[in-house]
């Protein structure tokens, strides 16, 4: 992998809530020391009840998203029921071993509640209450450690995700620009609007990145 490979250095976050999960990312892509793009999509719905964040090589990430969206849709048609979050994470972990330069978070809501899994490039996957993947993860994890509490609400989870992303963007030069946040709960996948994120940043005393 060369220095001119387009990568999402990034900070990605997954948080388990009382009734659902929060997935969040920044929007910066880098090519070596160059900030190549400022509005990169790093958060994707895989189905109505599952989402995924991406960190790593952009081309690999886009291929993984398309593959998983297709596989989950086929599974739902064959089984007549949505894929569970655990099954989706297991499938991603199996596929990533084929040579994808990625670090991923798979999160969602199913009949057993909300779940978030971190998945590394070797195919290891771990479920936890909160996690961060990417170059800014060490800074985000510090904020998550301080702010997380069990059984948080949707609103509390969004604010904690914003706080963690803000910590990462201030200290990691590969993290920055916009923020993407989604809530996945009993009613399915919900993108949090840019207007709501900006409003919450202001209320928390943070400057919205770009």
Dist. CA 210–CA 208, nearest whole Å: 6
Nearest in space to 46 (alpha carbons), one of 77, 78, 88 = 88
Q: Which of 8, 10, 53, 175 is catalytic?
A: 10
Q: Which residues of 31-69 are buried (b: 16+ CB within 10 A; e: fewer)?
A: beeeeebeebbbbbbbbebbbbbbbbbbebbeebbeebb
Sign, Cα dihedral of 55, 56, 58, 60 = negative
- Establish whether 175 is a catalytic residue: no
Question: Catalytic site residues?
Answer: 10
């Amino acid at each position: 992998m060369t220095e001119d490979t387009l990568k999402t250095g990034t900070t990605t976050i997954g948080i388990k809530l009382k009734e659902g999960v929060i997935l969040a990312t920044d929007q910066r892509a880098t090519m070596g020391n160059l900030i190549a793009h400022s509005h990169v999509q790093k958060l994707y719905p895989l189905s109505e009840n599952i989402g995924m964040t991406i960190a790593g090589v952009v081309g690999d990430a886009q291929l993984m998203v398309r593959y998983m969206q297709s596989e989950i849709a086929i599974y739902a048609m064959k089984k007549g029921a949505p894929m569970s979050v655990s099954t989706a994470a297991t499938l991603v972990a199996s596929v990533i071993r084929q040579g994808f330069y990625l670090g991923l978070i798979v999160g969602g809501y199913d009949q057993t509640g909300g779940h978030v899994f971190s998945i590394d490039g070797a195919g290891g996957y771990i479920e936890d209450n909160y996690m961060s993947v990417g170059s800014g993860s060490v800074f985000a994890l510090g904020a998550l450690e301080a702010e997380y509490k069990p059984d948080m609400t949707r609103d509390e989870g969004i604010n904690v995700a914003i706080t963690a992303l803000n910590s990462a963007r201030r200290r990691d030069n590969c993290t920055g620009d916009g923020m993407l946040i989604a809530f996945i709960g009993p009613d399915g996948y919900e993108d949090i609007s840019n207007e709501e994120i900006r409003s919450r940043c202001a209320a928390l005393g943070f400057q919205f990145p770009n």
